[in-house]
Structure 1
């Protein structure tokens, strides 16, 4: 596999294992449009290659991913599209959802290393992994609703990962929790407290993965993911339009501004 050129990702392929490091540490690896596009391109390349057996997702600088880059999203403006024009906010939201769906359905085994901030879109990436490790003190959460937004493209994958009951609570409260609780919820499979401990666990897992036949693993994933038998693209299309409506509503501008000003939004002070 020829590794694509990327600005926001570091890529390393060794013995069938592709390590993808989200590399915007100054922004806690928040998902910019460029990063979303580059991740999509990498996942497409993995799908087209027989060289990659496993994909490791990790973040640079001690954080996995702090979610979507709200500053870049808001920079595009909130003006509704004209007649016959594509809605840029819908397109932004759907590009993110398509990237998550591609990661979820990769024939290769996807392993997420969750450290530091695992929020919003980063939480979504953890949910579409096949295997996830978390630092015991990693901070997980879905803060979208505290900023006036729905976790539109993330919520379906959260439900698939941990079930409807827990997803409702997490999505509707914006609650944050640590890696040990993520293990209890079934969001991750193992926790670690130090890098050497992680490397032992990761090496053991990769050994097991590489002992499985690659095509058998790919087919097995396809079967498992087909259990729900629902059209994810239709669901995500609908969610993208709902997301755009919320962005242009009364809550999102206040929620995002409050987040950037490091204060509570108005509804939190009621």
Structure 2
């Protein structure tokens, strides 16, 4: 079992097969500071090789997910000498977030985002890399960058992947806010909950479904999905068939088939979800 790093901007709680990560800067509506970016990156790096951990639940403290980037970091970068290319402090600040969000996007774990209150800027991008997005009644999405004279540089590509180019154009170029049912219709949310109890039930249900899915098959499926549209379809399907054959003959395929025949849960579903660390 992986030892988790010490974090100042995140609250980490291990519960059975899930790691609950709470963005914990409530005084700033959990705005994404450089320290938070570095800590999120460290956590995702540390847990990647932990096969006992199968899901990550991302949430914000005190009713807000994340209000975007930390303006104080922007001010700090402005006070530094300007550099050329990747030596520019603004480049480094922005690109650090991009590396982290790409890392989270490519994680082998099932990433469940619990979205409440402000989901803006970097928080919007983080929501768009989740595998399961569950919203509360106060959720409000926005890409306000253009109204601040900047661009959603590391965020926009993931929003396009999530909801398509035409809707991303509208949200990014107008800075419009999107709430509740509209977010659900756009595909920013998979589920919209009416209150806290319903939200807790939705999280528990998602984590239970993760428990019933084979961990290696889940990780391989996620990697396969990320390749769609980036490789020639014929070659992709050839490789997918090879992976399927290996999975059928592998230990998870054998156990899954036997469990189905014997009308019992597979071995990977037999874990203690109440285990807290």
TM band (smaller chain): 0.7 to 0.9
Q: Which residue of 2 aligns with 1:112?
A: 113
Structure exhibiting the larger radius of gyration computed from Cα positions: 2
Q: Which residue of 2 aligns with 1:206?
A: 207
Q: Which residue of 2 aligns with 1:192?
A: 193
Q: Which residue of 2 aligns with 1:46?
A: 47
Deviation at 1:48, TM superposition (A): 2.4
Task: Please list the CA deviations of residues 199-220 of structure 1 after superposition, one character each: whole Å capped at 9, or x if unmatched.
Answer: 1111111111110001101000
Structure 1 residues without counterparts, runs of 5 or longer:
231-270
Tell me the secondary structure at the aligned position of residue 212 of structure 1: coil
Tell me the secondary structure at the aligned position of residue 208 of structure 1: helix
C-alpha distance in 2 between matches for 1:79 and 1:200: 47
C-alpha distance in 1 between matches for 2:90 and 2:79: 8
Alignment of 1:51-200 (within 5 A): 51-77=52-78, 81-82=82-83, 86-200=87-201
Alignment of 1:26-37 (within 5 A): 26-37=27-38
Tell me the secondary structure at the aligned position of residue 87 of structure 2: coil
Deviation at 1:55, TM superposition (A): 0.1
Deviation at 1:75, TM superposition (A): 1.8
Q: Which residue of 1 aligns with 2:243?
A: none
Q: Is the 8 A contact 2:82 2:88 kept in 1?
A: yes
Deviation at 1:80, TM superposition (A): 5.8
C-alpha distance in 1 between matches for 2:43 and 2:115: 20
TM-score, length-scaled by structure 2: 0.80
Tell me the secondary structure at the aligned position of residue 78 of structure 2: coil
Q: Is the 8 A contact 2:142 2:175 kept in 1?
A: yes
Per mean C-alpha deviation after superposition, the further-off stretch among 193-202 and 117-126 is 193-202
Deviation at 1:97, TM superposition (A): 0.4
C-alpha distance in 1 between matches for 2:189 and 2:34: 26
Q: Is the 8 A contact 1:145 1:171 kept in 2?
A: yes
Tell me the secondary structure at the aligned position of residue 152 of structure 1: coil
Q: Which residue of 2 aligns with 1:226?
A: 227
C-alpha distance in 2 between matches for 1:158 and 1:82: 29
Q: Where in structure 1 do 4 or more consecutive aligned residues deviate above 3 Å?
A: 78-85
Per mean C-alpha deviation after superposition, the further-off stretch among 44-53 and 180-189 is 44-53
Structure 2 residues without counterparts, runs of 5 or longer:
232-277
Q: Is the 8 A contact 1:96 1:153 kept in 2?
A: yes
Tell me the secondary structure at the aligned position of residue 133 of structure 2: strand
C-alpha distance in 2 between matches for 1:211 and 1:113: 21
Task: Please list the CA deviations of residues 151-189 of structure 1 after superposition, one character each: whole Å capped at 9, or x if unmatched.
Answer: 000000000000111111111110002122110101110
**CA RMSD of superposed structures (Å):** 1.5
C-alpha distance in 2 between matches for 1:117 and 1:216: 34
TM-score, length-scaled by structure 1: 0.82
C-alpha distance in 2 between matches for 1:83 and 1:57: 35
C-alpha distance in 1 between matches for 2:9 and 2:184: 29
Task: Please list the CA deviations of residues 88-122 of structure 1 after superposition, one character each: whole Å capped at 9, or x if unmatched.
Answer: 11111110001100111100000000001000110
* Number of residue equivalences: 230
